[in-house]
Chain A
Amino acid sequence: MNNYNDHVPMPEPDSHATLISCPGCTGVLSVIEERDGAHLRFVCSVGHSYSLQTLLQAKEDDVERAFWSVAAFLEHIRMITGIFMQYVDRQGLPIDKQGLENRRRQAEIHGRQIRHMIDETEVTDMEPHLTDERT
Protein backbone atom coordinates (compact mmCIF):
# COMPACT_ATOMS: atom_id res chain seq x y z
CA MET A 1 0.00 0.00 0.00
CA ASN A 2 1.32 3.44 -0.91
CA ASN A 3 2.21 5.88 1.77
CA TYR A 4 -0.37 8.65 1.98
CA ASN A 5 2.43 11.19 1.75
CA ASP A 6 3.36 9.87 -1.71
CA HIS A 7 0.20 11.53 -3.01
CA VAL A 8 0.62 14.86 -1.25
CA PRO A 9 3.10 17.12 -3.00
CA MET A 10 5.19 18.83 -0.37
CA PRO A 11 6.34 22.43 -0.75
CA GLU A 12 9.86 22.79 -2.04
CA PRO A 13 12.34 23.56 0.75
CA ASP A 14 12.97 27.13 -0.38
CA SER A 15 9.34 28.06 -1.03
CA HIS A 16 7.13 30.38 0.99
CA ALA A 17 3.35 30.27 1.11
CA THR A 18 1.58 33.35 -0.21
CA LEU A 19 -1.91 34.73 0.42
CA ILE A 20 -2.64 34.50 -3.31
CA SER A 21 -4.84 31.77 -4.74
CA CYS A 22 -3.89 29.71 -7.78
CA PRO A 23 -5.80 30.89 -10.89
CA GLY A 24 -5.93 27.29 -12.13
CA CYS A 25 -7.45 25.57 -9.10
CA THR A 26 -7.89 28.14 -6.30
CA GLY A 27 -5.31 26.28 -4.22
CA VAL A 28 -2.59 28.03 -2.25
CA LEU A 29 0.35 29.41 -4.19
CA SER A 30 3.87 29.17 -2.86
CA VAL A 31 6.65 31.30 -4.23
CA ILE A 32 10.12 30.02 -4.99
CA GLU A 33 13.00 32.39 -5.53
CA GLU A 34 15.18 31.04 -8.31
CA ARG A 35 18.71 32.22 -9.01
CA ASP A 36 18.81 34.19 -5.75
CA GLY A 37 15.56 35.95 -6.49
CA ALA A 38 16.28 36.81 -10.13
CA HIS A 39 13.23 34.77 -11.10
CA LEU A 40 10.15 34.15 -9.01
CA ARG A 41 8.14 30.99 -9.61
CA PHE A 42 4.69 30.54 -8.09
CA VAL A 43 3.44 26.97 -7.72
CA CYS A 44 0.38 25.38 -6.16
CA SER A 45 0.03 21.95 -4.62
CA VAL A 46 -1.08 20.26 -7.85
CA GLY A 47 1.66 21.81 -9.94
CA HIS A 48 0.16 24.86 -11.66
CA SER A 49 3.10 27.16 -12.14
CA TYR A 50 3.43 30.86 -12.95
CA SER A 51 6.03 33.56 -13.32
CA LEU A 52 5.21 37.05 -12.02
CA GLN A 53 4.12 38.00 -15.52
CA THR A 54 1.85 35.03 -16.16
CA LEU A 55 0.38 35.22 -12.64
CA LEU A 56 -0.50 38.87 -13.13
CA GLN A 57 -2.06 38.13 -16.52
CA ALA A 58 -4.06 35.24 -15.05
CA LYS A 59 -5.38 37.51 -12.31
CA GLU A 60 -6.24 40.18 -14.89
CA ASP A 61 -8.27 37.54 -16.71
CA ASP A 62 -9.99 36.61 -13.43
CA VAL A 63 -10.88 40.23 -12.75
CA GLU A 64 -12.32 40.71 -16.22
CA ARG A 65 -14.34 37.49 -15.93
CA ALA A 66 -15.72 38.68 -12.59
CA PHE A 67 -16.61 42.09 -14.04
CA TRP A 68 -18.50 40.51 -16.93
CA SER A 69 -20.24 38.21 -14.50
CA VAL A 70 -21.44 41.21 -12.45
CA ALA A 71 -22.46 43.00 -15.65
CA ALA A 72 -24.50 39.97 -16.68
CA PHE A 73 -26.22 39.70 -13.26
CA LEU A 74 -27.13 43.38 -13.37
CA GLU A 75 -28.52 42.97 -16.87
CA HIS A 76 -30.58 40.03 -15.65
CA ILE A 77 -31.93 42.14 -12.76
CA ARG A 78 -32.82 44.88 -15.23
CA MET A 79 -34.70 42.39 -17.41
CA ILE A 80 -36.41 40.60 -14.54
CA THR A 81 -37.60 43.80 -12.86
CA GLY A 82 -39.03 44.83 -16.24
CA ILE A 83 -40.89 41.53 -16.54
CA PHE A 84 -41.98 41.83 -12.91
CA MET A 85 -43.52 45.26 -13.52
CA GLN A 86 -45.49 43.93 -16.50
CA TYR A 87 -46.60 41.00 -14.36
CA VAL A 88 -47.79 43.35 -11.59
CA ASP A 89 -49.80 45.34 -14.16
CA ARG A 90 -51.29 42.25 -15.77
CA GLN A 91 -52.25 40.59 -12.51
CA GLY A 92 -53.21 43.80 -10.71
CA LEU A 93 -51.01 42.88 -7.76
CA PRO A 94 -50.61 45.21 -4.76
CA ILE A 95 -46.84 45.51 -5.17
CA ASP A 96 -44.86 48.76 -5.18
CA LYS A 97 -44.02 49.22 -8.86
CA GLN A 98 -41.94 52.31 -8.15
CA GLY A 99 -39.51 50.21 -6.11
CA LEU A 100 -39.10 47.82 -9.03
CA GLU A 101 -38.61 50.70 -11.43
CA ASN A 102 -35.99 52.26 -9.16
CA ARG A 103 -34.09 48.99 -8.96
CA ARG A 104 -34.34 48.50 -12.74
CA ARG A 105 -32.82 51.95 -13.34
CA GLN A 106 -30.16 51.39 -10.70
CA ALA A 107 -29.14 48.04 -12.23
CA GLU A 108 -28.91 49.73 -15.63
CA ILE A 109 -26.67 52.49 -14.26
CA HIS A 110 -24.48 50.04 -12.36
CA GLY A 111 -24.19 47.85 -15.47
CA ARG A 112 -22.94 50.84 -17.46
CA GLN A 113 -20.47 51.65 -14.70
CA ILE A 114 -19.09 48.11 -14.72
CA ARG A 115 -18.69 48.19 -18.50
CA HIS A 116 -16.96 51.54 -18.16
CA MET A 117 -14.54 50.01 -15.64
CA ILE A 118 -13.77 47.18 -18.06
CA ASP A 119 -13.23 49.62 -20.91
CA GLU A 120 -11.00 51.88 -18.84
CA THR A 121 -8.77 49.07 -17.58
CA GLU A 122 -5.23 49.33 -18.88
CA VAL A 123 -3.44 46.01 -18.70
CA THR A 124 0.24 46.61 -18.05
CA ASP A 125 2.68 45.99 -20.84
CA MET A 126 4.91 43.34 -19.27
CA GLU A 127 7.47 43.20 -22.01
CA PRO A 128 11.00 44.35 -21.14
CA HIS A 129 11.65 47.64 -22.89
CA LEU A 130 14.29 47.64 -25.57
CA THR A 131 16.82 50.40 -25.49
CA ASP A 132 18.49 49.55 -28.76
CA GLU A 133 16.45 51.04 -31.62
CA ARG A 134 18.04 48.62 -34.09
CA THR A 135 15.90 45.85 -32.64
Chain B
Amino acid sequence: MLNVQHIKRDVIVIGASAGGVEALIRLFQGFTANFQGIVATVIHRSPAYNLHLGKVLGRNVALPLIEPTHETELKPGTIYLAPRDHHMFFTKGHVELNRGPKIHFTRPAVDPLFVSAGELFGTRVVGVLLTGGGDDGVSGFISIKARQGLAIVQDPREAKMPTMPLNALTRDHVDLVLPLSEIPPTLERLARGEAVETSASFTATPQRSMG
Protein backbone atom coordinates (compact mmCIF):
# COMPACT_ATOMS: atom_id res chain seq x y z
CA MET B 1 0.00 0.00 0.00
CA LEU B 2 1.05 3.56 -0.69
CA ASN B 3 0.39 6.51 1.63
CA VAL B 4 -0.24 4.35 4.68
CA GLN B 5 0.60 7.45 6.74
CA HIS B 6 -2.67 8.96 5.41
CA ILE B 7 -1.04 12.22 4.36
CA LYS B 8 -3.30 14.50 2.33
CA ARG B 9 -1.53 14.72 -1.03
CA ASP B 10 -3.54 17.52 -2.55
CA VAL B 11 -1.01 19.37 -4.73
CA ILE B 12 -0.89 17.66 -8.10
CA VAL B 13 1.70 18.62 -10.71
CA ILE B 14 1.45 17.11 -14.16
CA GLY B 15 3.87 17.08 -17.08
CA ALA B 16 3.26 15.98 -20.65
CA SER B 17 4.75 16.38 -24.07
CA ALA B 18 4.12 14.58 -27.38
CA GLY B 19 0.67 12.99 -27.29
CA GLY B 20 -0.15 15.01 -24.21
CA VAL B 21 -3.21 16.88 -25.43
CA GLU B 22 -5.25 13.72 -25.86
CA ALA B 23 -3.93 12.30 -22.57
CA LEU B 24 -4.71 15.48 -20.64
CA ILE B 25 -8.24 15.66 -22.07
CA ARG B 26 -8.92 12.17 -20.74
CA LEU B 27 -7.18 12.81 -17.43
CA PHE B 28 -8.93 16.11 -16.68
CA GLN B 29 -12.30 14.65 -17.59
CA GLY B 30 -11.68 11.99 -14.95
CA PHE B 31 -11.70 14.47 -12.05
CA THR B 32 -14.95 14.86 -10.13
CA ALA B 33 -16.39 18.25 -9.19
CA ASN B 34 -15.74 17.52 -5.52
CA PHE B 35 -11.99 17.28 -5.97
CA GLN B 36 -10.31 19.90 -3.80
CA GLY B 37 -6.74 19.46 -4.96
CA ILE B 38 -4.63 22.04 -6.75
CA VAL B 39 -3.71 20.75 -10.20
CA ALA B 40 -0.88 22.48 -12.08
CA THR B 41 0.00 21.28 -15.55
CA VAL B 42 2.78 21.84 -18.04
CA ILE B 43 2.51 20.56 -21.57
CA HIS B 44 5.28 21.36 -24.03
CA ARG B 45 3.80 23.81 -26.50
CA SER B 46 4.74 26.30 -29.17
CA PRO B 47 5.57 29.80 -27.98
CA ALA B 48 3.87 31.29 -31.03
CA TYR B 49 0.59 29.45 -31.21
CA ASN B 50 -1.99 29.63 -28.50
CA LEU B 51 -3.95 26.80 -30.08
CA HIS B 52 -6.89 27.53 -27.80
CA LEU B 53 -5.39 24.87 -25.63
CA GLY B 54 -7.13 26.02 -22.48
CA LYS B 55 -10.52 25.72 -24.17
CA VAL B 56 -9.68 22.34 -25.67
CA LEU B 57 -8.41 20.85 -22.41
CA GLY B 58 -11.13 22.41 -20.29
CA ARG B 59 -14.06 21.12 -22.35
CA ASN B 60 -16.37 18.81 -20.39
CA VAL B 61 -14.16 19.05 -17.31
CA ALA B 62 -15.82 19.36 -13.89
CA LEU B 63 -13.08 21.60 -12.49
CA PRO B 64 -12.31 25.13 -13.67
CA LEU B 65 -9.23 25.25 -15.89
CA ILE B 66 -7.30 28.49 -16.22
CA GLU B 67 -4.13 29.70 -17.88
CA PRO B 68 -2.86 31.89 -15.06
CA THR B 69 -1.24 35.28 -15.27
CA HIS B 70 1.72 36.23 -13.10
CA GLU B 71 0.94 35.99 -9.36
CA THR B 72 -2.44 34.31 -9.78
CA GLU B 73 -3.74 33.22 -6.41
CA LEU B 74 -3.92 29.46 -5.82
CA LYS B 75 -7.35 28.03 -5.22
CA PRO B 76 -8.29 24.42 -4.38
CA GLY B 77 -10.26 22.53 -6.98
CA THR B 78 -8.65 24.39 -9.88
CA ILE B 79 -6.54 23.26 -12.81
CA TYR B 80 -3.73 25.64 -13.78
CA LEU B 81 -2.29 25.27 -17.28
CA ALA B 82 1.11 26.83 -17.98
CA PRO B 83 0.67 29.46 -20.70
CA ARG B 84 2.78 29.42 -23.84
CA ASP B 85 6.31 30.78 -23.66
CA HIS B 86 6.41 30.98 -19.84
CA HIS B 87 7.72 28.75 -17.11
CA MET B 88 5.15 28.28 -14.37
CA PHE B 89 6.05 27.63 -10.76
CA PHE B 90 4.69 27.99 -7.25
CA THR B 91 5.56 30.61 -4.70
CA LYS B 92 3.72 31.06 -1.44
CA GLY B 93 0.02 31.05 -2.26
CA HIS B 94 0.55 31.98 -5.89
CA VAL B 95 1.38 30.77 -9.34
CA GLU B 96 4.25 32.71 -10.86
CA LEU B 97 5.32 32.95 -14.47
CA ASN B 98 8.55 34.00 -16.10
CA ARG B 99 10.46 33.83 -19.37
CA GLY B 100 13.53 32.32 -17.76
CA PRO B 101 16.03 30.31 -19.79
CA LYS B 102 14.53 27.44 -21.76
CA ILE B 103 14.97 24.11 -20.00
CA HIS B 104 15.44 21.05 -22.19
CA PHE B 105 14.94 23.47 -25.11
CA THR B 106 11.40 24.25 -23.99
CA ARG B 107 9.40 26.89 -22.16
CA PRO B 108 7.21 26.07 -20.37
CA ALA B 109 9.15 23.12 -18.97
CA VAL B 110 8.04 20.52 -16.46
CA ASP B 111 11.06 20.61 -14.14
CA PRO B 112 10.64 24.17 -12.76
CA LEU B 113 7.03 23.46 -11.79
CA PHE B 114 7.85 20.12 -10.18
CA VAL B 115 10.88 21.46 -8.29
CA SER B 116 8.98 24.48 -6.96
CA ALA B 117 6.08 22.25 -5.89
CA GLY B 118 8.41 19.93 -4.00
CA GLU B 119 10.20 22.80 -2.30
CA LEU B 120 7.02 24.58 -1.26
CA PHE B 121 4.58 21.78 -0.49
CA GLY B 122 6.79 18.78 0.39
CA THR B 123 4.75 15.70 1.27
CA ARG B 124 1.54 17.19 -0.18
CA VAL B 125 2.87 16.86 -3.72
CA VAL B 126 2.09 14.17 -6.25
CA GLY B 127 3.98 14.48 -9.52
CA VAL B 128 2.52 12.86 -12.63
CA LEU B 129 4.41 12.34 -15.88
CA LEU B 130 2.43 11.41 -18.96
CA THR B 131 3.24 10.61 -22.54
CA GLY B 132 6.14 12.48 -24.13
CA GLY B 133 9.64 12.40 -25.49
CA GLY B 134 12.82 13.44 -23.71
CA ASP B 135 13.46 13.60 -20.01
CA ASP B 136 11.92 16.84 -18.83
CA GLY B 137 10.35 16.11 -15.45
CA VAL B 138 12.95 13.63 -14.23
CA SER B 139 14.84 16.23 -12.16
CA GLY B 140 11.49 17.46 -10.91
CA PHE B 141 10.51 13.95 -9.82
CA ILE B 142 13.80 13.54 -7.98
CA SER B 143 13.17 16.83 -6.18
CA ILE B 144 9.61 15.84 -5.25
CA LYS B 145 10.71 12.42 -4.00
CA ALA B 146 13.55 13.96 -1.97
CA ARG B 147 10.88 15.83 0.00
CA GLN B 148 8.73 12.73 0.52
CA GLY B 149 6.24 13.54 -2.20
CA LEU B 150 4.93 10.86 -4.57
CA ALA B 151 5.64 10.14 -8.22
CA ILE B 152 3.25 8.57 -10.71
CA VAL B 153 3.81 7.85 -14.40
CA GLN B 154 1.41 6.88 -17.13
CA ASP B 155 1.92 3.27 -18.08
CA PRO B 156 4.49 3.51 -20.90
CA ARG B 157 2.80 0.63 -22.69
CA GLU B 158 -0.24 2.79 -23.37
CA ALA B 159 1.51 6.16 -23.73
CA LYS B 160 1.60 7.57 -27.27
CA MET B 161 5.25 8.43 -26.64
CA PRO B 162 6.68 6.31 -23.81
CA THR B 163 10.09 7.98 -23.44
CA MET B 164 9.22 10.51 -20.74
CA PRO B 165 7.62 7.99 -18.35
CA LEU B 166 10.34 5.45 -19.16
CA ASN B 167 13.09 7.95 -18.38
CA ALA B 168 11.43 8.65 -15.04
CA LEU B 169 11.23 4.93 -14.29
CA THR B 170 14.85 4.50 -15.22
CA ARG B 171 16.28 7.34 -13.21
CA ASP B 172 14.05 7.70 -10.16
CA HIS B 173 11.96 5.63 -7.80
CA VAL B 174 8.49 6.01 -9.21
CA ASP B 175 5.71 5.02 -6.81
CA LEU B 176 2.96 4.07 -9.23
CA VAL B 177 2.64 3.18 -12.89
CA LEU B 178 -0.97 3.52 -13.96
CA PRO B 179 -3.09 3.57 -17.07
CA LEU B 180 -4.56 6.99 -17.71
CA SER B 181 -8.05 5.95 -16.63
CA GLU B 182 -6.82 5.06 -13.12
CA ILE B 183 -4.83 8.23 -12.49
CA PRO B 184 -7.67 10.69 -11.59
CA PRO B 185 -9.39 8.42 -9.05
CA THR B 186 -6.00 7.56 -7.52
CA LEU B 187 -5.13 11.26 -7.23
CA GLU B 188 -8.48 11.96 -5.59
CA ARG B 189 -7.92 9.20 -3.03
CA LEU B 190 -4.43 10.49 -2.26
CA ALA B 191 -5.76 14.05 -1.91
CA ARG B 192 -8.23 12.80 0.70
CA GLY B 193 -5.37 11.15 2.56
CA GLU B 194 -6.34 7.59 1.70
CA ALA B 195 -3.88 4.79 1.09
CA VAL B 196 -3.84 3.24 -2.39
CA GLU B 197 -2.79 -0.11 -3.80
CA THR B 198 0.69 -0.23 -5.22
CA SER B 199 0.39 -3.53 -7.03
CA ALA B 200 -1.54 -1.96 -9.88
CA SER B 201 -0.13 -2.93 -13.21
CA PHE B 202 3.58 -2.39 -13.67
CA THR B 203 6.74 -3.09 -11.75
CA ALA B 204 8.50 0.24 -11.46
CA THR B 205 11.96 -1.19 -11.29
CA PRO B 206 14.68 1.17 -12.45
CA GLN B 207 16.44 -0.24 -15.49
CA ARG B 208 19.93 1.15 -15.29
CA SER B 209 20.74 0.21 -18.83
CA MET B 210 18.63 3.06 -20.16
CA GLY B 211 19.62 6.67 -20.87
| A interface residues, Cβ below 8 angstroms from B | 53, 56-57, 60, 68, 118-119, 121, 123-127, 130, 135
B48 touches A57 (CB 8 A): yes
B99 touches A121 (CB 8 A): yes
B52 touches A130 (CB 8 A): yes
A127 and B50 in contact, given A119-B99, A121-B99 (Cβ under 8 angstroms) = yes
- Determine how close the nearest CB of chain A comes to the CB of B144; give it in whole angstroms: 26
The docked-state distance in angstroms from the alpha carbon of A130 to that of B46 is 18
B51 touches A123 (CB 8 A): no
- Determine how close the nearest CB of chain B comes to the CB of A125; give it in whole angstroms: 5
* CB nearest neighbor in B for A71: B101
B101 touches A123 (CB 8 A): no
* CB nearest neighbor in B for A119: B99
Ordered by A's residue number, 8 sampled pairs between the chains whose C-beta atoms are within 8 Å are A56-B48, A57-B48, A118-B99, A123-B48, A125-B84, A126-B49, A127-B51, A135-B52
- Determine how close the nearest CB of chain B comes to the CB of A70; give it in whole angstroms: 13
Q: How many residues of B contact A (CB 8 A)?
A: 13
Which residues of chain B have C-beta atoms less than 8 A from A57's C-beta? 46-48
Which residues of chain B have C-beta atoms less than 8 A from A126's C-beta? 48-49
B52 touches A125 (CB 8 A): no
The 0/1 profile, CB within 8 Å of A marked 1, for residues 33-75 of chain B is 0000000000000111111100000000000000000000000
- Determine how close the nearest CB of chain B comes to the CB of A132; give it in whole angstroms: 11
* CB nearest neighbor in A for B56: A135
* CB nearest neighbor in B for A120: B99
The docked-state distance in angstroms from the alpha carbon of A135 to that of B48 is 20
* CB nearest neighbor in A for B86: A119
* B47 in complex: contacting residue of A60, A119, A130, A135, CB < 8 Å: A60
* CB nearest neighbor in A for B99: A119
B98 touches A53 (CB 8 A): no
* B49 in complex: contacting residue of A68, A118, A119, A127, CB < 8 Å: A127
* A60 in complex: contacting residue of B48, B50, B52, CB < 8 Å: B48
